[in-house]
Structure 1
Amino acid sequence: MSATPVYSPAQLDYGLDAPTDRITKSVECLIGLEQVENDPFCFAIRVAAPLPEDLEQAKTLVVRVEGRRLQGTVRHSERLEDDSLRLEVEPD
């Protein structure tokens, strides 16, 4: 990706699997929305560093950004060279 992502302030609620149940955490951070190549139904977010240490293990995600609410199941996460995290999400 050659373009510099545009980041907006967002509220992230993310679910983590625990041995007996699911834990939900919330964080305010900067994100950029991206399209997922060859998948018109999914979306991706790029979360700027610094990151919550357990965000890479997120199973579910609710994003509130610029008056929009997006939610879904995390299908793939990838740490990028600039220390940001890209999460591909399948909407619910």
Structure 2
Amino acid sequence: MPEQEKSVWNNQNLFSNNYLEHRLQLTSLWDAQKERVNKIFEDVKNVHETIKSLNLGPGEEAGLEDKFIRPVLTLLGYEWDVHLFDEIFFLKVA
């Protein structure tokens, strides 16, 4: 996999850059998750490549959600539920 050219985080002084760039990679958690994370990253890139040809644009948010957002959330291990809304009727007072 090619190296990322730019930082993949927006630190805003929450952590030291030294920790994020060098020390985090030495932790046991980083090592334990490396293969899994690389697989998920490749899968997300594949999903993105698949939908690029669809040229989804304004007004096609439902298609984007169905074809990209939900598959990516699934790859990341998230579950979601559709929230139905109750219709509220307003009376127009003359």
TM-score normalised by the chain length of structure 1: 0.20
Bigger fraction of residues in helix: 2
Bigger fraction of residues in strand: 1
Based on CA coordinates, which of the two structures has the bigger radius of gyration?
A: 2
TM-score normalised by the chain length of structure 2: 0.19
